């Protein structure tokens, strides 16, 4: 009897596990697309000659404004809660938009962030007030920039330049989530961390499927 039990465990459990994970792949919930055609950042200039684009990248997009020292806490929160855990993902980047004239402050902030983690995925980009507003307005959210061209919200933009977030669900009492409050550790830890995991897992699964299809061919 014991022999049959052992054999059953050895053969049945792996099959159950396989069916569970296979089901998870097919029923994987993607992070909803809220808006499409987010403007690219090609008109902006960086601290280096590095070419930065939202195309083909999973981007955390932020607007730090004229008074960068007021948003330094946001940058450190993001660095600790989001960036450090995910910067190893090849196509993952941070893009922070600021007006011209903020270059020196941004350079100092980048150096401070570099004391905590590899900051190769952080991109501080500088542009005109018009171009900053153009990118922000293309997100088409219910948020607004303040008089300093800043907001505490940051946004997840996918490889196709679509804004990702959470749909409104009145039955569950959930409202639309366009962005995440970088000045709130709770919002980053309880909401954004999970949503970043979902979109990265989505692209990992897509990459695995692509490689599997190539092998079959």
We report the CATH number of the domain holding residue 42 as 3.40.30.10
Residue 18 forms part of a structural domain: no
pTM of the prediction? 0.83
Q: How far is CA 141 from CA 9, 65, 155, 156, 165, in A?
A: 52, 18, 10, 12, 11
| Mean pLDDT score, 99-112 | 96
Residue 158 forms part of a structural domain: yes
Residue 200 forms part of a structural domain: yes
Q: Is the pLDDT of residue 7 over 80?
A: no
Residue 168 forms part of a structural domain: yes
Higher-confidence residue of 140 and 117: namely: 140
Residue 105 forms part of a structural domain: yes
Q: Give me the pLDDT at residue 37, please.
A: 96
**CB burial readout 98-130, b (16+ within 10 A) else e:** bbeebeebbeebbeebeeeeebebbbbbbbeee
| Mean pLDDT score, 158-162 | 97
Three-class secondary structure of residue 101 per DSSP: coil
pLDDT class for 92, splitting at 50, 70, 90?
very high
Cα-based torsion angle of the residue sequence 194, 197, 202, 203 in order, rounded to the nearest 10 degrees: 150
**Total structural domains in the chain?**
1
Q: Is the pLDDT of residue 44 over 80?
A: yes
Residue 12 forms part of a structural domain: no
Residue 10 forms part of a structural domain: no
Q: Is the pLDDT of residue 98 over 60?
A: yes
What range defines the domain where residue 61 resides? 33-216
Residue 21 forms part of a structural domain: no
């Amino acid at each position: 009897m014991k022999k049959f039990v052992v054999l059953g465990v050895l053969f049945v459990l792996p099959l159950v596990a396989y069916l569970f994970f296979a089901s998870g792949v097919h029923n994987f919930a993607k992070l909803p697309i809220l808006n499409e055609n987010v403007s690219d950042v090609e008109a902006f200039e960086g601290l280096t000659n590095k070419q930065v684009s939202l195309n083909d990248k999973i981007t955390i997009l932020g607007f730090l404004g004229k008074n960068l020292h007021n948003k330094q806490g946001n940058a450190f929160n993001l660095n600790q809660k989001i960036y450090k855990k995910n910067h190893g993902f090849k196509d993952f980047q941070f893009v922070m938009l600021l007006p011209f004239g903020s270059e020196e402050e941004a350079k100092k902030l980048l150096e401070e962030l570099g004391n905590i983690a590899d900051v190769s995925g952080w991109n501080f980009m500088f542009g005109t007030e018009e171009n900053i507003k153009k990118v922000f307005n293309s997100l088409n959210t219910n948020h607004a920039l303040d008089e300093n061209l800043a907001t505490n919200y940051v946004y997840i933009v996918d490889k196709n330049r679509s804004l990702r977030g959470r749909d409104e669900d009145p039955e569950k009492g959930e409202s639309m989530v366009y962005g995440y409050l970088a000045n709130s550790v709770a919002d980053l830890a309880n909401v954004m961390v999970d949503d970043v995991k979902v979109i990265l897992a989505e692209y990992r699964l897509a990459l695995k499927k692509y490689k599997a299809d190539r092998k079959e061919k």
